[in-house]
Structure 1
């Protein structure tokens, strides 16, 4: 059971493993992109290419879907980046439903663990497999693997790394369940942090924070949904930055250009320190390097980034 590209390595690994996928469940196709053409999820599309049976129910409690799921008589359900499962679904497999979560639970329970880990400047994260229960990301832990977060790593880059690490961990977990060698570890309620679904306003760049915090916010939202700011009448999305050495100083207000040059590139003062803008775009336009942006948008050289939405 899964939806986005993050779940594809798990699907591929399962198909190649000794464990036999009986079917795949994903979300219904929906309009996407500028043309609003109806599009299947990455998991549904790949499952059909692999010749697997796919169900895309609107409601997981729909009797016809439950009848189909029950007819498979599954040993276990593998759930990766899907949606909340009601008890009628997660309790149906003989050994329960195993969820792969992109954090070291109980830290970062919720829909966006990768983004919030980077936003908060974490240097380490990982993946967890656990048994689903009635609450969100609270079930007993089966296995975990750690990985480091690079100081300039974006959410997209970390997601790719964790998706592959997670595929290995999922197979390891299924092997352990089959062999009866795994111990269930209840999650501690101490150390719980939350990773709620991202809202547009979460991506608005807070220039009054330190350069490191601004850098973390930008890479946490890159490539999607993209951290953003207002520059004059324009909305600017920023995807990649670099924290400048501390001797850049604080000679101007946060959100003010330190450098706007078609050779040296772009840099901006923060509440403490400054950052270089390496990759950015006007909303709806293609991504540019700092020098490319400066060359094509000289009219914005005298503007200042807004501090409030």
Structure 2
């Protein structure tokens, strides 16, 4: 079996390794150049390709369509997308003789779209996972090929959960590879009406609104904690990144739960929320750092 692989991030590294281990011939990898403005804390697909002597390219989104003849000439059995960030044109997907398959970081049909791990934490989910699905022109909409779940602990950050989702993705690809190698693609419907779609998140979306509940604030902090851009609030005319919070208490009796915002009591920092509950800020630092 021959494949063209679009890949980035830890999921890209793990799943590409799994394909190679299973004996799939990877004729080309399409990946991204690392963004110098991004905190790159994850594994490098390009480095893996260099180690394994696999041809790879790093086209921009606008350059993909120009590469259609190249993909047509390769005529792979499969096209895989493992955390590749650009939409892949339908004409490229059609170059796969058997199927074009994408690994998505949620239990589809829930959390289709961008930043699925961050959105799941933000909404207080206790479970997410990874789903391999057939790629269509519409994002994350094709039939489900395989799934594995991952738990979300009450204090886990997006980075913690992403590690679990990466493990779930590897579990999924290893589950289905025996069938794929035989040219069989297991399918079940991706019932979109039972799910949800979310767009990308910007650093500005990390602003803490203290009129929300303590649980909502805690979930936001976890969802965007560094190395993501971080939740932030103003304190003494400074923008502060709130990196870690706790709901556990015990909290000082002299907190004024009627006044939302930051309070410092006994050298401890608290955020008073709209439900008259507090979060303790365990780690924060000036945004300028």
Please report the TM-score for the alignment, with normalisation by the length of structure 1. 0.81
Mapped partners of 1:84, 1:4: distance in 2:
16
Who is 2:72 aligned against? Answer: 70
Please list the CA deviations of residues 37-60 of structure 1 after superposition, one character each: whole Å capped at 9, or x if unmatched.
xxxx93223322332110122311
8 A Cα contact 1:6 1:160, kept in partner = no
Mapped partners of 2:184, 2:148: distance in 1:
17
8 A Cα contact 2:144 2:190, kept in partner = yes
Please list the CA deviations of residues 133-172 of structure 1 after superposition, one character each: whole Å capped at 9, or x if unmatched.
1101101111111121100110011111111220221232
Mapped partners of 2:288, 2:19: distance in 1:
38
Please list the CA deviations of residues 236-266 of structure 1 after superposition, one character each: whole Å capped at 9, or x if unmatched.
11121111348667534111315361xxx32
Mapped partners of 1:180, 1:101: distance in 2:
21
Who is 2:3 aligned against? Answer: none
Classify 1:51/1:154 alpha carbon distance in 2 versus 1 (closer, same or farther; 3 Å): same
Structure 2: state its 5+ residue gaps.
1-5
Matches within 5 A, 1:128-277: 128-179=131-182, 182-223=185-226, 224-245=228-249, 251-259=257-265, 261=267, 265-272=268-275, 273-277=277-281
Who is 1:102 aligned against? Answer: 105
Mapped partners of 2:113, 2:68: distance in 1:
25
8 A Cα contact 1:23 1:53, kept in partner = yes
8 A Cα contact 1:76 1:93, kept in partner = yes
Residue 114 of structure 1 pairs with residue 117 of structure 2: yes
TM-superposed deviation, 1:269? 1.5
Classify 1:175/1:259 alpha carbon distance in 2 versus 1 (closer, same or farther; 3 Å): farther
8 A Cα contact 2:179 2:186, kept in partner = no
Structure 1: state its 5+ residue gaps.
35-40, 286-309
Match of 2:82 among 80, 83, 98: 80
Mapped partners of 2:181, 2:22: distance in 1:
13
Who is 1:46 aligned against? Answer: 48
Mapped partners of 2:223, 2:35: distance in 1:
26
Mapped partners of 2:288, 2:71: distance in 1:
42
Mapped partners of 2:265, 2:51: distance in 1:
50
Classify 1:119/1:30 alpha carbon distance in 2 versus 1 (closer, same or farther; 3 Å): closer
Residue 26 of structure 1 pairs with residue 31 of structure 2: yes
If each structure's strand is expressed as a fraction of its own residues, which one has the higher value? 2
8 A Cα contact 1:258 1:266, kept in partner = yes
Please list the CA deviations of residues 118-144 of structure 1 after superposition, one character each: whole Å capped at 9, or x if unmatched.
000001111100000110110111111
Classify 1:14/1:280 alpha carbon distance in 2 versus 1 (closer, same or farther; 3 Å): farther
Classify 1:70/1:174 alpha carbon distance in 2 versus 1 (closer, same or farther; 3 Å): farther
* RMSD of Structure 2 on Structure 1 (CA): 2.2
TM-superposed deviation, 1:31? 4.1
The range that moved more, 212-221 or 270-279, is: 270-279
Mapped partners of 2:101, 2:262: distance in 1:
49
Equivalenced residues, count: 274
8 A Cα contact 2:257 2:278, kept in partner = no
Q: Residue 175 of structure 2 aligns to a residue in which SS? A: helix
